């Protein structure tokens, strides 16, 4: 390059540098589009349903239901099964893969904030005829392209992808909580069936003794053949109920196997008929529920992502500014690649603006605004559903607790009635129909008591799930975490 060209480049270089720096500073100060604010949602001052006996509301600084919430049940077998959900449950692993996908998308979007440098070396041979011979041309171009984010479109794209990734992280936690709660519910259902089986085993034994008693009385000419038939019917009915329990138990056991990522044939759960009332725990106050529910957090992050899309759509009304530079070497002799005359360079900005698009950009803005409104409605509906689920389970626990007390009294009365009927029947003071009636009443009330206790244990799991388990929004990955 001659001296004149060199001096011109020297004079232009400071202007280019200063102009580029000014554009960068301007781009950091200008953001087109709405600033995000979390939407308002209806939050009651207190729960309508009173907490069950032994439960109390946790203050914001209390660590209610932290971490592995299922440990409040003090069941090592349940602990071992729950630990497998995060490791082996295929739905949880799928949600984890979706989160990693969303996390990678953040890094893809962030790459737009930095220049792109490309190189495309080439060696070509050309000719126009036999006489002219072959021409060789060797080129090493290096291109530098940088789209200056003047209106914040790229930064909003990064923010939108970050919000989507955070929503995906919350959805992962929601999936984990869902399957952990489902496993605990199935486990307690199995224990309820085991308790019912224990009751029916004892009942079958008792009925068998009554069959023998009735047969002996018939042989002695005291009882009728009809009494023997009634006793035998009662026995076989109880046996049928006992066998029928196996179907439900097998299904719950298979469900737990799948929840832990195993084929049903690989898991067997030993019988454990011992049941205890659900443990007392802390419940959060309504104002903190929104921070503890992963589905609510996911819905809120989707609103934030939709808000950024509005800004991206509005930025399309403004011109885009791209700074590009190119340098390299081009020569006919490969040995001259590094010599000064073979080198070339160019540098300069490019301004691009859409002048006419038949209202496409206006429609795109309206589209993103409508999508934003939809996410706001979804967020508020998710909040309402969260409060409904808490209230439902509080009511269920309270009512079941009251029902359990009444049923316990009914069980005691039914057993007393059976005892009296049996004594009267042995003494010949009543017929066997009275014994059958007392047996049926006693068994029905005992089974009801077992079922109510099972429902209370399952409802306590549902309440913990409705309260968000051991999660809170502080566990969402930050923007910095998503880039690493």
- Phi and psi torsions of 179, nearest 5°: -80, -30
Burial of residue 338 (number of CB atoms within 10 Å: 0-12, 13-18, 19+): exposed
Report the half-sphere exposure of 390 (CA within 13 A, side-chain side).
Answer: 28
CATH class of 34-115+152-319+359-482: mainly alpha
Burial of residue 23 (number of CB atoms within 10 Å: 0-12, 13-18, 19+): middle
Burial of residue 111 (number of CB atoms within 10 Å: 0-12, 13-18, 19+): exposed
Report the half-sphere exposure of 479 (CA within 13 A, side-chain side).
Answer: 12
Residue 64: which region, alpha, beta or left (left: phi > 0; alpha: psi -120 to 50)? Answer: beta
Residue 350 near residue 150 (C-beta atoms within 8 A): no
User: What tens-digit pLDDT sequence spans the chain (484 residues)?
Assistant: 444 444 444 544 554 555 555 555 455 557 888 999 999 998 998 888 876 666 666 554 444 456 789 999 999 999 999 999 999 999 999 999 999 999 999 999 999 999 998 888 877 766 666 556 677 777 778 888 988 888 999 999 999 999 999 999 999 999 999 999 999 999 999 999 999 999 999 999 999 999 999 999 899 888 889 999 999 999 999 999 999 999 999 999 999 999 999 999 999 999 988 888 988 766 778 888 999 999 999 999 999 999 999 999 999 999 988 888 887 776 766 655 555 556 767 887 888 888 888 999 999 999 999 999 999 999 999 999 999 999 999 999 999 999 999 999 999 999 999 999 999 988 888 888 899 999 999 999 999 999 999 999 999 999 999 999 989 999 999 989 998 8
Q: What global pTM score does this model have?
A: 0.86
Beta pairing, strands 56-58 & 282-284: parallel
Beta-bridged to residue 292, according to DSSP, are none
CA-closest candidate to residue 33, choices 357, 364, 350: 364
Handedness of CA 415, 418, 423, 424 (dihedral sign): positive
Beta pairing, strands 122-126 & 282-284: unpaired
Instruction: Give the Cα separation of 305 and 71 in Å (integer).
Output: 36
Residue 214 near residue 432 (C-beta atoms within 8 A): yes
């Amino acid at each position: 390059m001659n001296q004149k060209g060199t001096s011109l480049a020297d004079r232009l270089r400071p202007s280019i540098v200063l102009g580029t720096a000014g554009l960068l500073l301007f781009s950091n100060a200008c953001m087109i589009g709405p600033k995000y604010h979390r939407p308002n949602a209806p939050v009651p001052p207190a729960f309508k349903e009173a907490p069950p006996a032994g439960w109390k509301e946790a203050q914001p600084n209390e660590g209610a239901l932290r971490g592995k919430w299922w440990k409040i049940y003090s069941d090592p077998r349940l602990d071992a099964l729950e630990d497998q959900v995060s490791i082996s449950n295929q739905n949880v692993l799928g949600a984890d893969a979706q989160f990693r996908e969303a996390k990678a998308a953040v890094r893809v979007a962030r790459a737009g904030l930095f220049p792109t440098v490309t190189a495309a070396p080439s060696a070509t041979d050309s000719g126009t005829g036999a006489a002219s011979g072959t021409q060789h041309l060797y080129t090493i171009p290096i291109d530098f392209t940088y789209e200056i984010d003047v209106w914040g479109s790229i930064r909003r794209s990064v923010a939108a992808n970050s919000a989507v990734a955070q929503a995906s992280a919350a959805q992962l936690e929601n999936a984990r909580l869902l399957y952990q709660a489902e496993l605990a519910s199935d486990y307690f259902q199995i224990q309820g069936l085991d308790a019912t089986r224990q009751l029916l085993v004892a009942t079958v034994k008792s009925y068998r003794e009554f069959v023998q008693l009735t047969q002996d009385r018939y042989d002695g000419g005291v009882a009728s053949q009809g009494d023997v038939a009634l006793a035998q019917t009662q026995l076989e009915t109880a046996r049928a109920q006992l066998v029928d329990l196996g179907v439900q138990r097998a299904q719950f056991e298979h469900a737990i196997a799948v929840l832990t990522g195993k084929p049903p044939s690989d898991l067997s759960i030993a019988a454990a008929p011992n049941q205890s009332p659900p443990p007392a725990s802390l419940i959060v106050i309504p104002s903190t529920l929104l921070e503890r529910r992963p589905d609510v957090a996911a819905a809120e992050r989707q609103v934030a992502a939709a808000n950024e899309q509005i800004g991206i759509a509005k930025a399309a009304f403004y011109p885009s500014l791209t700074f590009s530079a190119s340098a390299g070497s081009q020569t006919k002799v490969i040995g001259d690649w590094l010599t000064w005359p073979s080198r070339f360079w160019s540098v300069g900005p490019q301004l691009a603006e859409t002048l006419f698009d038949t209202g496409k950009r206006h429609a795109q803005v309206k589209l993103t605004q409508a999508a934003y409104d939809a996410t706001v409605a979804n967020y508020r509906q998710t909040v309402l559903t969260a409060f409904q689920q808490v209230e439902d389970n509080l009511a269920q626990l309270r009512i079941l607790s009251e029902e359990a007390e009444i049923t316990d009294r009914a069980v005691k009365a039914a057993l007393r009635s059976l005892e009296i009927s049996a004594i009267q029947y042995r003494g010949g003071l009543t017929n066997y129909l009275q014994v059958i009636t007392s047996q049926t009443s006693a068994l029905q009330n005992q089974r009801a008591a077992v079922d109510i206790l099972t429902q209370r244990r399952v409802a306590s799991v549902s309440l913990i799930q409705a309260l968000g388990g051991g999660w809170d929004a502080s566990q969402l990955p930050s923007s910095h975490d998503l880039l690493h």
